[in-house]
Amino acid sequence: MDKFLIKGGTPLAGTIQVSGAKNSALPCMAAAILTEDEVILENIPQVRDIDTERKLLASMGADVELLDGSDHCTRIRCATLSDPVAKYEIVKTMRASSLVLGPLIARTGMARVAMPGGCAIGGRPIDLHIKGLEEMGATIVQEHGYLEARVDRLRGAHLVFDKITVTGTEDLLMAAVLADGETLMENCAREPEVTDLAALLTAMGARIEGAGTTTIRVKGVGRLHGARYRINPDRIEAGTFLIAGAITGGDLTVAGCNPAHLGALIGKLEEAGVRVDLIGPGALRVRPGGQLRGADISTEEYPGFPTDMQAQYMALATQAEGVSLVTENIFENRFMHVQELVRMGANIKVDGRTATVHGPTRLSAASVMCSDLRASASLVLAALVADGQSVLDRVYHMDRGYERIEEKLRGVGAQIERVSKLPAPEAQPAVAD
């Protein structure tokens, strides 16, 4: 099982490149199910969840291949879907399996999808997907760990989400584009990943209005055609790199990002005393602005502070003067990184959904365990400033959403290495009796 060895104390400097957004690529890959024609997606990140999605589509009968000698361009053609089943053996490590439910039933009239797996950070109920599809005419039953859905043809409906859900918005948006009539969706997620998916669907011939707002209107069409589309940069990876530069006191340029998607994080970094400069249409420079200061965050749906940046920000808060309150409003079990940060010397107390971080504290190297994707990122950040060499175990969580992060960080000065096993300890000289 791979581990990271990280020796802290080196300020990061130079330019680091952001990959395509995993959370945009996954629904866009699922959208290829909606047409018999080929869909070509550019700027696809090479991460484990994407590999799983490729295997999932291929298992259903799709033709999936990498193009142009690049790992970042994928061609998908679902001319026939001989087996419209999302098998548990394939999707057990990935939350996004539910994203194929809507397009499968819209295209084939039936779907059998294993209940999603992935990070254990709290409930991400699929009941909102089910409720919406049932209102569009589908019959759905759950048995033996699978959702089985059938319909002659979906029909447009007025859908009001009980709570904001990104994957629910995406799943029902894909279902609605081939439904009979008009679908009105209210209380929708506004995340850039939803807008990215809507842009691809529109390029495929869908009729969508209001993506990026709380109300989306879809007029169903008879069929969609193929398209070529470039995925947005990953705002969470970009944010992680901004914090990496800030926490190490470095001078780091984060290139290939979309600053417009990072407003809440940039504002909070500046409040904490970090200098963030826009140096081009897709590049941000982060460098010290003085002593880091404590600043509170409260996670919210976009455009608020993203839950996927909470753990990374907490690592930064351990190095800030004063008290920072970190409140998690999206997931009920997203503080699993706290105990590992405490093992490294952090002063953090958790009370319900709020963690109180006292800083600055001197972090020391330790052996720590990665519990989920973003918790893994927070431990990498903490290790970058800790005294000595830390060992991070179970970094396969990191591989789900960050492309070659150790290579990228090493390119800007980090002392980080991936190993499959720990090196043997050095032999100690014999001591005479």
Contact 116, 94 (CB under 8 A): yes
Residue with tokens 């990215």, as numbered in its chain:
196
Q: For residues 331-358, b (16+ Cβ closer than 10 Å) or e, as one string?
A: beebbbbbebbbbbbbebeeeebebebb
Positions marked catalytic: 119
Beta bridge partners of 148: 112, 141
Was domain 3-19+235-419 assigned CATH 3.65.10.10?
yes
Q: Which residues of the chain have pLDDT under 70?
A: 69-70, 95-96, 116-125, 424-433
Residues 6+ apart with CB under 8 A from 335: 328, 350, 355
Is-cis flag, bond preceding 429, omega within 30? no
Helix axes 127-135, 166-176, angle to 10 degrees: 20
Structure tokens at 119: 């990070």
pLDDT of residue 131: 93
Fold that domain 22-219 belongs to in CATH: UDP-n-acetylglucosamine1-carboxyvinyl-transferase; Chain (3.65.10)
pLDDT of residue 423: 76
Contact 49, 400 (CB under 8 A): yes
Calpha distance 251→287 (Å, rounded): 5
> Which of these, 296, 297, 315, 316, lies nearest to 306 by C-alpha position?
297
> Which of these, 267, 258, 280, lies nearest to 196 by C-alpha position?
258
The total of other beta-carbon atoms located within 10 Å of residue 28's CB is 29
pLDDT of residue 425: 63
Q: What is the domain partition of the chain in residue ranges?
A: 3-19+235-419, 22-219
Calpha distance 162→173 (Å, rounded): 16
pLDDT of residue 301: 96
Structure tokens at 270: 């500046």
- 3-19+235-419 with 22-219: one CATH topology? yes
